[in-house]
Structure 1
Amino acid sequence: MAYVAIAALLAAAFLLVRLLLLRRELRRASGQLEAFNLGHTEKKLDLAFYDGRLELLAEHVNRLIDHAKQAHADRRRSENELKRAVANISHDIRTPMTSILGYVQFLESEALAPERRAEYTATVKNGALRLKALLEDFFELSLIESPDYPLQAEPIRMNDLVLEVLAGFYEPFLQRRLEPAIAIAEEDLFVRADPSAVKRVIENLLLNAIKHASGDVSIRLAKTPAAVRLTIENRAERLSEKDIVYLFDRFYTADRTRGGSGTGIGLSIAKSLMAKMNGSLSAELVAGKLVMICEWQPEPPGEQDRHGQAGRGDELQ
């Protein structure tokens, strides 16, 4: 009996010590969480006393800490992006507005010569059109980023669509004295996407290349093992790796001093549309060249054959 009593006392003492250690560890963990919540530290929970259930709890808490840190980083990035957007849109609005107001004052003069009046009127009109384009782009971007923006996915033969869009850019390329090097795969490349959205993406990327290219432009459409890839490449000595990071942000323009008609929204619109179509749009800076890469999931082979046969049947008719 004495041995049983001693064993019971030892067990009770062990449980009491273990309980006290658990309570102390819980107080310690609570203190660490309070320090994290107050912003005094970003350190995760660490345990000095190990218990299976306590370790599992600490693991879950540390996951929440990771999520909270990521959410905080995302919020700071969004705030910085918003500040840049406000600064950029203010610049984009202020520049033509200042010009418009200045020339309106000139137009109010009764002694103004007719040819000068026509010149100033054209300048005011151009400024107003720039403001209109800016507001339309901003409105379109807000629509595209809404969850219920409608897209109608259907099979598209990318070979034809890319060539169709390029044909519409013959004059802009000619005016900039750019001669694009075009390489389109001979095999049929089908994707399932919204044709209007795909056209808009390609148009925005070509417009960006034409506006900012400091050399010839290269356009390639090919199939990779996992995707149908469109690559648009142009010389861009003014760009840096820092610019690539923010290239798809709203209203971001790499060189604010160059002015022009761009609003900095076109690439953001293209990025949003690609995301809506479950595709991807990325940018790289390789040896002084800006490389834009669009990728879509290819249409399954069976579907490609069916659409190809339908197309050949239409041609025979």
Structure 2
Amino acid sequence: MIFLVFILLFTSVYFSARFFLLSKNIQKATYDLQSINKDIGRNHRLTLSSPDKHMEELLYKINDYLEISQMENIKNLRKENEIRKEIENISHDLRTPLTSILGYLQLMQDEDTTEEEKAEYISIIERKSKYLQHLIQTFYDMSRLQANDYKLDIKSLDVNKKLMEQLLLFYNDFEEKNINVGINLGSEEANILCDEKSIERIFNNLISNATKYSKSTFKVNLVKINDKVEIIFKNDVYNLDSADEYEIFKPFYTKDKSRHDQSSGLGLTVAKLLIEAMNGSINCKINNDGFIEFRIILKLYETL
């Protein structure tokens, strides 16, 4: 009889203790979870106040969920900052030509403005308006490319011939800036499946960059390797280093933060998106000798 009472007493004490410890663990976990929810970005985790196998398994699952939530929160914050920065850049790029247009319109209303001056102002307004139109179209195209909603007219094209055509368009620009141009495209056709307007735009962006930022030399090579064609644009630059390789394709990236060079920083971003939309690739390398190199790789049509 005494032994039975002892067993019952022991069992009662044991389960009471277990209940007390479990209750304490739950209270602590509840309090900690409330604190974490107030600042989900902080790297806090739930812990036990006393050992309990089942409670430990539960907290392990909750901590996994918290880690995922915190990572998502960090990603969302970064994305918000990127969007905010992009809005700032778009506002700046649109505001600059628009402010200039409005300024010249006010000058034209001045009674002392001569007819000759008005004609000059109209020419400037037209130029700024076209630039503004180009910016808006670029923003729109980039948005559609990022959303995979950009329509491409894919057909066979000799990319060798197309590249030479685009290079000839910039002949005078290179001459005026005394930039030595080296071209090695070979004599063979290099047919690919692509959108012709997109290829023209890609080449135009890269060659235009070279005319703006080359110190003295610009080189273009095209070579067929197995089932692919590689096109390399290479020119010497003033103020880029290897750290810029990781930034150069990002939207609105420009070395001149004040944008005095009239660059929106979108040309290379759009070029990369267009190349990838046509199942190609582009990468950038900035060498120690002061040269920047863009390498485009596209699949040849003959081997498809």
SS in 1 for 2:263: coil
TM-score normalized by the length of structure 1: 0.70
The CA distance in 1 between the partners of 2:60 and 2:182, in whole Å, is 55
Q: Measured at CA, do residues 38 and 181 of structure 1 come closer, stay the same or move farther in structure 2, by a change above 3 Å?
A: farther
Match of 1:78 in 2: 79
The aligned runs of 1:82-101 (5 Å cut-off) are 82-101=83-102
Give, in whole Å, the separation in 2 of the partners of 1:39 and 1:254. 36
Contact 1:93 1:131 in 2 (8 A): yes
Contact 2:191 2:302 in 1 (8 A): yes
Q: Which amino acid aligns with 2:128?
A: G
Contact 1:219 1:233 in 2 (8 A): yes
- For structure 1, which runs of at least 5 residues remain unmatched after alignment? 1-20, 308-317
Q: Secondary structure of the equivalent of 2:180?
A: coil
1:262 aligns with: 263
What is the CA distance between 1:158 and its match in structure 2?
2.9
Letter in 1 for 2:295: I
Partner secondary structure for residue 275 of structure 1: helix
Q: CA deviation at 1:175?
A: 3.2
CA separation of 1:270 and 1:72: change in aligned 2, threshold 3 A = farther
Q: Displacement of 1:254 after TM fit?
A: 1.9
CA contact (8 A) 1:251 1:264 kept: yes
Kindly report the root-mean-square deviation, in angstroms, between the aligned alpha carbons of the 2 structures: 4.5
Q: Residues of 2 paired with 1:187 and 1:70: CA distance?
A: 51
Residue from 284, 290, 293 that aligns with 1:291:
293
The offset of 1:242, in angstroms, is 5.0
TM superposition shift of 1:255: 0.8
Q: Which residue pairs with 1:162 in the alignment?
A: 163
User: Would you say the 8 A contact 1:130–1:261 is kept in 2?
Assistant: no
Compared with structure 1, are the counterparts of its residues 74 and 199 closer, same or farther at alpha carbon in structure 2 (3 Å cutoff)?
farther
CA contact (8 A) 1:153 1:194 kept: yes
SS of 1:123's partner is helix
Q: Give me the whole-angstrom Cα distance separating, in 2, the residues matched to 1:122 and 1:249.
A: 33
Structure 2 segments unaligned to the other structure (5+ residues): 1-20
1:201 matched to 2:202: yes
Q: Could you tell me the TM-score, scaled by structure 2's length?
A: 0.72
Aligned to 1:148: 149
Question: Kindly tell me: are residues 140 and 257 of structure 1, through their superposed partners in 2, closer, same or farther at Cα, counting changes over 3 Å?
Answer: same
1:291 alignment partner AA: E
- Could you tell me the percent identity over the aligned residues? 28
Does structure 2 conserve the Cα–Cα contact (< 8 Å) formed by 1:250 and 1:268?
yes
Whole-angstrom distance in 2 between the partners of 1:70 and 1:176? 50
Distance in 1 (CA, whole Å) between partners of 2:224 and 2:52 is 54
Q: 1:85–1:252: 8 Å Cα contact kept in structure 2?
A: no
Q: What is the one-letter code of the residue matched to 1:282?
A: N
The residue aligned with 1:279 is 280
Residue deviations 1:94-132 (CA, integer Å, cap 9, x gap): 322332233222221223233333333323332222222
**Secondary structure, aligned partner of 2:235:** strand
